[in-house]
Amino acid sequence: MKIVVTGGAGFIGSHLVERLLQAGHQVGTLDNLSTGRIVFLTNDQYKHNHTLVQGSVTDRALLEKLMDQCDVVFHLAAMLGVKNTVENPLQIIESNIDGTRNVLEMAYKKHVKVIFSSTSEIYGKNQTLPFQESSDRVLGPTSIHRWCYATAKALDEHLCFAYADKGLPVTIVRYFNAYGPRQSSSQYGQVVPRFITAALKNEPIEVYGEGTQSRCFTFIDDTVSGTVSAMEPKANGLAFNIGSDTPITIYDLAHLIARSVGSSSPIVKVPYDKAYGPGYEDMPARMPDLSRSKSILGYAPTVSLQDGLQRTIAWYRDHLN
C-alpha cells in the first residue's frame, strides 16, 4: 500500500514510518523539519520504499500532488506541547487547524483514507474517569491560552467527522501521553524525557505543582500499534483512545525514573506559576476507557511502564549529547 505520513520525521511519526516500512508498505514522509529530525529516518531500512519530502501541510499544491500517489495518509504534523500552548497560542491555533483542513480537503478530492492523530487534551478538565470517546469536553475560559491546543484539536476532529459524513474514510486516534526513544526533552516540555535527562545528569528533577496529578503513560510501540490498526475499514468514522489505562502520579513517576537511572537527583516541586506563568491550570487525572479500541481495533497496550522506561533510558544514555 502507498502511504503518506505527515510529520513523519518527528517522535511518533518516525516510529510509525519505521513500522509501516517493516510491514512492506511504500511510505512518503512529509515534514518541514522544524522539529522533526532527518537522523530518525536514515537507517538502512529507510533506503527502500521510502521518500522524504521536506515541506509543509500548509502547501496545498504539494499536498495535492502527494495525494495522487497514495492510498492512506496518516496526519501527524502538528504544533503541540503545553509550553507552546502557553507561549505561542496563535501558532498553535493556525498551524493545527489550517494544516488539518488542507489534508482533509485534498484527501477528499482523491478519496484517500485519513488517520488523524488527536490527543487526550481534548477532554480538558473533565473529572469523570475513565474517558470514553463520547465523554463531554470540559474546558476553561477562552482567555486562558492553556486551552487553545485542546480547542484546535477538537475543531480538527469536527472537520474529520464532517468529512466522514460526506463519505471520506477517516479515523481519529487520541493519544494518551506517548513516550519513548526519540522524544524531545526540550521542544515541548514532555515530562518523561525531561525527567530522564535530569536524572542522567544528576540534576534536580522538577515536578510541577504538588505532583499529585496522574497520567497514563504509553510506550511508543503501543502508540504505533494502535495507530496502524486504525487503517482498517471498520474504524472509519470513529474516534479511538490509544494509550495505557494504568495511572501513575507525576511525583511517583519522578521517583521511579530516578531509581531506574540510579540517579542521585533530588525531586523538587516547582509552582505552576513559575513553570508556565500565572493562571495556568492542570488536570488532576487522565485515564482512557479502552473498550472501543479493544473491541474494534483489537488494541491492547503490552509494554509495562517499567519496561518502557528502561528501554527509553537506554536510548537517552546513548544519545543524550
Which are the catalytic amino acids? Answer: 149
Extended strands (E) in 144-231: 170-175, 178-179, 205-208, 214-215, 218-219
DSSP 137: P
Backbone dihedral angles phi then psi of residue 206, each to the nearest 5 degrees? -90, 120
Question: Do the Cβ atoms of 174 and 118 come closer than 8 Å?
Answer: yes
Which runs of consecutive H residues, i.e. helices, occur in 248-304?
250-261, 272-276, 291-292
241 DSSP β-pair partners: 174
172 DSSP β-pair partners: 116, 239
**Distance between CA 225 and CA 240 in Å, rounded?**
13
**Radius of gyration for the chain, computed over Cα atoms and rounded to the nearest angstrom:** 19
- Count the neighbouring beta carbons within 10 Å of the beta carbon of residue 141: 9
